Structure 1
Amino acid sequence: MAEPGDAAAFIRDAPFEVLKALLGRLSPKWILRMRSVCRAWRGKLCNEALLSRLNRAEPPQPLLCFDRVACADRYIHLSDYCVESLDLRSGKLRAVFRFTDNEDYFIDEYDLEGRDAPPIMDDYVVDYERMKHYGDAILKPHVTVHASLDGYLLVSFSSRRRWYIINPATRHWVSLFDPTTFGLDVIGLYEHGRTGKYHVLCLSRSYTTVRDQEAPTCSYHVIEVRPGQRRCIGRPLSPAVRKDHGLGAGVERASISPPIQWKRGNMDLLWPPQQSQGYHLLVFNTWNENFSWTRPPPVTLRDDQHMRLLEFPDGNLGLSVSRENVATLDLWCLQDYRNKVWVLKHQIQLALQQMPALLQDEHLWIPAVVSPEGDVLIESRYGLFHCDRNGNLLRRFWFNQPRSGHRVLPIRHVLRKSLVQHPMFRPRPSKNAAEPPFFRWLCSDPSCSW
């Protein structure tokens, strides 16, 4: 049996790879409890540099948002909403948060192709013209995941119109005022390059008539999570930029087309190519708070393409390029950020013969690369298909079953669990603060792995 001094020395001097392998086998709950075992573990597991490194080493897990009917009684409007992460290696789903509620909201039942996130409305701000546009609407509660960064999620929920940044692993949270109150669309969450504080980037739209047509003009705003201040930064351009490629036209919401923060140099925030930006990659310098653009990979750009940014383990940026109902996908890597050198990492041809449901389906199915290893998830009305980088089917998940009232919403974000307790979560909210319902459910469910 090892002496206490030997054990403490091993914990103190253990290589990172050993700690990574050891802690990777434990749930966050048990890792946090290990801080009470001895001083050596407490010193190691309270080291934010180590915890940040463990967070970066975590494999990305796509987030799946489920909407279920929680009660079969037609007279009881009770709905269940949950967010789960998909472990691509094991194929297991892990609960991130979940709650059941019976408050009424209007959301579009048929808006599953990813052009817009389901709206959150209450009885006092119902847009009846929007309801006429969508047609039949259903009353259900809803949560929207707006951003995922460093293991933290920016979410909004309920007709109370409350917004939170939460850490599902440690169950810490901080509230944020509702940006939509000021007519703002959230387009990104980022860590500020100078201060290390987390900010939310938003835009406001106004419309002017040009040649008998309405044209949008956008201004950009920064919300500091703590102390919750909002300031308008206008449309600042980098001094090196000679042309506005579409900054005034704005970008899509982060819940639809999420950006990614490149944690090197200026810690830039980048968006995937969008039509409003002339299919350039919009770049926001988080140090100087100005915008610029960079070139996309040498691909033929089309309006029906889906492009998503991801991060490789070595810190390089990746871009997934796919098309609706097309079995070929590309994964590009930006190997030289300064000189804009893109390299085709994987070209994936899906083995559709293994998925006959897609061949017979006349409806939309959307493939996307969701990991640096080339894992592909295919969203369809028949469920979710998980393929490897060779295009072979690994597993199938049976979702989107209208008769059971069970569906999965479009995949937008990935999550890497983090045990870092950022200062924005301190001090703890007062007992009188309105607590999100997410963690009440997790604490009462013994099967929850988070």
Structure 2
Amino acid sequence: MAEPEPERGDAAAFIRDAPFDVHMSLVRRLSPKWILRMRLVCKAWRDKLCHGALLSPLHGLQPPQPLLCFGLAACPDRYIQSLDLRSGKLRAVFRFTENEGYGFDDNDLEGRDAPPIDDFRVDYKRMEVNYAEALVKPQLQVHASLDGYLLVSFLSAWCFINPATRHWVALPDLTRYDVVGFYEHVSSGEYRVLCFSGLWHAEYPAVYGVLMVSTVQLRFIGRPTSPAAPDDHGLGLGVDRAVISPPIQFKRNLHLRWPPQQTQGYHILVFDTEKEEFNWKSPPPVRDREVSLLEFPTGDLGLSVSRKNRATLELWCLEDYQNEVWVLVHRIQLAIQQMPVLQDEDLWIPAVVSPEGDVLIESWHWLLHCDRNGNLLRKFRLPKRVFVRHVLRESLLQHRMFRTPKVDGAIDAPLFHWLCSDPSS
């Protein structure tokens, strides 16, 4: 005799009353896309899969997805694309739908996935980029990536978005300022933008400001420095923009100005987000090299160290933050014999992009992905020079600012066409 099928109420009771470890074991095997779909199955799953206690640890388990940028722009055709380091596939995260400022035919890409980068037709006659023209041409730009959220702009439209859940908040136009950082104000749980206004000139020193995303209020704070700071190390001349040199937040400190330069005594500029003052920290002994920060799942800071056209690179970890103790985690020797395409490249730059030691090599025509043993995993042919600056870790957490009414002057309709996941309920 067949056993009776379980009642619907029994299934709902299991979902509601199962231990936390059971739920975590189930959902950690699912992508954010499928977790969003499960919310639609029944009320019991929706209530459980919207709970922050379950979603918070899931965010830390998501693999880092480096975002691809071409010059100052996030993409040549308004797509935001990422590389999934686990599957090795390029993913279209979302795209802007605004057409103003562009004269090319979009080929009606609305509603489709972005074409794979290695399928693009390369026009070598247009590979040379005029930098001055790039500064004024309307472009889709990624200014920051933090906690699964992105700070993006297109023309004068600025938005704070979660591409996994399709939540977004419009921000005021920040084009006339230099945005240098995006961070969480830990004590209040608010997200804020650090920017400055100035002319990059000693006679007109920069004045820094903080924009509160929730209230859209910009406060200027001057150039406050910590009493422990030896001097301002050229703080009045401004800081590299986040779209070029992304900062990393560690606890309440935002780390800016990379790479450390001789004019700053090779120090790392740090902004205390609670005291709203600047200070400096020392990096490991890696002067005159290509360096970039990354974050470990444990919350520690990491540092990728490499040189242009060199096959050896390192991954360091700031093991003791207070005493500035750096520890070498990996020394990676690239298997250049597996990469003959680099022989025709005048300039290529390797960088460690994950705590596991994944390496991406940027060049004029190629993006190469290697493991921590230096072996080539995959390669992508590119339409133009690529830069890997920001890393996205998807999150299903819904920040409270997404539930607040839109501010005066906010954009009425989204400027995005979502691609990477289904809408949440």
Shared fold per TM-score greater than 0.5: yes
2:388 pairs with 1:414: no
| CA RMSD between the two structures | 2.9
Alignment of 1:12-161 (within 5 A): 12-16=17-21, 18-65=22-69, 80-99=77-96, 102-104=99-101, 110-111=128-129, 118-121=134-137, 142-158=139-155, 161=156
**Which residue pairs with 1:135 in the alignment?**
none
Normalised TM-score (structure 1): 0.78
**Which residue pairs with 2:170 in the alignment?**
175
**Which residue pairs with 1:133 in the alignment?**
none
CA distance in 1, matches of 2:204, 2:144: 24
CA distance in 2, matches of 1:147, 1:227: 19
Shift in CA distance, 156/117, structure 1 to aligned 2, threshold 3 Å: farther
Residue 316 of structure 1, CA deviation: 0.8
1:317 counterpart (293, 301, 308)? 301
Q: Deviations over 1:289-333 (max 9, x none)?
A: 11111110122x11xx32111111211100111121111111100
Residue 100 of structure 1, CA deviation: 5.5
CA distance in 2, matches of 1:277, 1:176: 32
CA distance in 2, matches of 1:423, 1:85: 26
2:335 counterpart (344, 347, 351)? 351
CA contact (8 A) 2:170 2:411 kept: no
Residue 180 of structure 1, CA deviation: 2.2
CA distance in 1, matches of 2:267, 2:410: 47
Shift in CA distance, 279/425, structure 1 to aligned 2, threshold 3 Å: same
Shift in CA distance, 229/390, structure 1 to aligned 2, threshold 3 Å: same
2:279 pairs with 1:274: no
Shift in CA distance, 165/117, structure 1 to aligned 2, threshold 3 Å: farther
Alignment of 1:431-450 (within 5 A): 433-439=411-417, 442=419, 448-449=420-421
CA contact (8 A) 1:27 1:449 kept: no
**Which residue pairs with 1:244 in the alignment?**
232
SS in 1 for 2:397: coil
Q: Deviations over 1:90-114 (max 9, x none)?
A: 10122211245543269x96459xx
Q: Deviations over 1:396-438 (max 9, x none)?
A: 11212xxxxxx46311100011111111112354999343332
**Which residue pairs with 1:203 in the alignment?**
196
2:274 counterpart (257, 277, 287)? 287
Q: Deviations over 1:370-420 (max 9, x none)?
A: 1001101111123110001111100011212xxxxxx46311100011111
1:308 counterpart (289, 292, 297)? 292
Give the letter for the 2:331 counterpart: Q
Alignment of 1:205-244 (within 5 A): 205-206=198-199, 217-244=205-232
CA distance in 2, matches of 1:118, 1:371: 30
CA contact (8 A) 2:28 2:61 kept: no
CA distance in 2, matches of 1:414, 1:367: 16
CA contact (8 A) 1:154 1:165 kept: yes
Give the letter for the 1:171 counterpart: R
Residue 352 of structure 1, CA deviation: 0.8
CA contact (8 A) 2:223 2:235 kept: yes
Normalised TM-score (structure 2): 0.83
* Structure 2 unpaired stretches of 5+: 104-125
Shift in CA distance, 247/360, structure 1 to aligned 2, threshold 3 Å: same
CA distance in 2, matches of 1:207, 1:390: 42
SS in 2 for 1:154: strand
CA distance in 1, matches of 2:400, 2:169: 10
Give the letter for the 1:247 counterpart: L
Shift in CA distance, 253/110, structure 1 to aligned 2, threshold 3 Å: farther
Residue 33 of structure 1, CA deviation: 3.9
Q: Deviations over 1:334-393 (max 9, x none)?
A: 0111111100011111111111121232x2111111100110111112311000111110
CA contact (8 A) 2:363 2:386 kept: no
Residue 117 of structure 1, CA deviation: 11
Give the letter for the 2:140 counterpart: V
Shift in CA distance, 116/26, structure 1 to aligned 2, threshold 3 Å: farther
Shift in CA distance, 207/355, structure 1 to aligned 2, threshold 3 Å: closer
CA distance in 2, matches of 1:247, 1:66: 28
SS in 1 for 2:388: coil
- Number of positions where the alignment pairs a residue of Structure 1 with one of Structure 2: 388
SS in 2 for 1:32: helix
CA contact (8 A) 2:97 2:416 kept: no
CA contact (8 A) 1:273 1:282 kept: no
Q: Deviations over 1:259-290 (max 9, x none)?
A: 11113xxx211124432533211111111111
Give the letter for the 1:416 counterpart: R
Give the letter for the 1:236 counterpart: P
Residue 153 of structure 1, CA deviation: 0.4
CA distance in 2, matches of 1:94, 1:25: 19
CA contact (8 A) 2:152 2:158 kept: yes
CA contact (8 A) 1:146 1:186 kept: yes
Shift in CA distance, 11/109, structure 1 to aligned 2, threshold 3 Å: farther
CA distance in 1, matches of 2:84, 2:193: 28
CA distance in 2, matches of 1:370, 1:412: 9
Shift in CA distance, 199/249, structure 1 to aligned 2, threshold 3 Å: same
Shift in CA distance, 28/259, structure 1 to aligned 2, threshold 3 Å: same
CA contact (8 A) 1:261 1:270 kept: yes
2:327 pairs with 1:339: no
CA distance in 2, matches of 1:195, 1:38: 34
* Structure 1 unpaired stretches of 5+: 68-78, 122-140, 209-213, 401-406, 443-447
State the identity %: 59
Residue 6 of structure 1, CA deviation: 6.4
Shift in CA distance, 346/55, structure 1 to aligned 2, threshold 3 Å: same
Give the letter for the 2:144 counterpart: A
1:187 counterpart (151, 168, 180)? 180
Give the letter for the 2:46 counterpart: R
Give the letter for the 1:323 counterpart: R
